[in-house]
Chains A and B, each alone.
Chain A
Amino acid sequence: MNYRPRDLDRVFATLSDPTRRAILARLAREESLSISALADPFSIKLPAVMKHLDVLSDAGLITRSKHGRTVQVRLSPAPLRKATEWLRRYERFWSPALDRLAAHAERKEAEAQAAEARAKGKAR
């Protein structure tokens, strides 16, 4: 299951654009769409949408196929899965660590409060 970090960088760079994320989110809901149907909800012009589709296609995030006179666009989930695996890997590393950090700090806080209470008692 190895993959080159450079490919992953490309996926994340591609996902950094909100229009491209919106395109992917829509494809995740609707399986397959023609380019004009895909461009419809966006205020940007068709050529701009085409450019985004090129970027998505280069990153391997979508596939385009010609059906008669229309081009159908589909989500290609494999690179996305790799990108989410990166996040999940680190989440599985950090999440329990931060839980233990919290428990440790809370113990230290209780100790500090006990010490402060003792100091106050002595001062009296």
Chain B
Amino acid sequence: MRSLMLVRRIAARPSIVFEAMTTNEGVAAWFGPDDVPVVRAQMDARVGGAYRVHFRTLDGRDHEACGEFLELIPPRRIVMSWRWTLGGVLEEGGRISRVEIELTPIGDGTELTFTHAGLWSDASEKSHARGWTGALDKLVRYVENAAGTTDITSEAPER
């Protein structure tokens, strides 16, 4: 299984976070790995609706990702397919992956659980998804010493 999970606690109600992730203006305000403004965001937020986000990185390169909303439960859950059509992670060669967002109310705010996973992983892999991170961390520490990454942000200056 090939997945990244990130969690954020946000001091905003789930409906506001949901809107920021499903509307053109919302997505245009934050999308991309750096502060370069988004070129265009088109979100047709309904199940089966398409989205397309075109953005630029600090190195001046253009990237575009697109896909389809697979699940939408306002203001709780968003699932979409993901594919690079320009730039991005080129060696993926147009393969489709999957982005899942869960919004859980906590106090006056929202806990956002974000997962980007490969669609091609089979069901048995999915059942092992939890508990994966810890095991991977150890392995990551082992391979850490030989860095060297190729990625869409690699040409941006190191912070």
Contacts and interface: CB of A to CB of B under 8 A. Distances in A.
A67 interface: no
Interface stretch (B43-51, B66-74, B149-157): B149-157
B17 A101 contact: yes
Contacts of A83: 2
Contact of B149 (A13, A85, A94): A85
The size bracket of the interface on B is 35 or more
B16 interface: yes
Contact of A80 (B26, B29, B91, B139): B139
A87 B136 contact: yes
Interface of A: 1-5, 8-9, 12-13, 15-18, 21-22, 24-25, 28, 75, 77, 80-81, 83-106, 108-109, 112
Given A80-B139, A98-B114, A108-B16, A5 B10 contact: no
A31 to B, nearest CB: 10
Contacts of A84: 136, 139-140, 143
Interface in B85-128: 89, 91-93, 95, 110, 112, 114, 116, 118, 120-122, 124-125, 128
Contacts of A88: 149, 151
Nearest to B57: A93
B39 interface: no
A88 B139 CA distance: 13
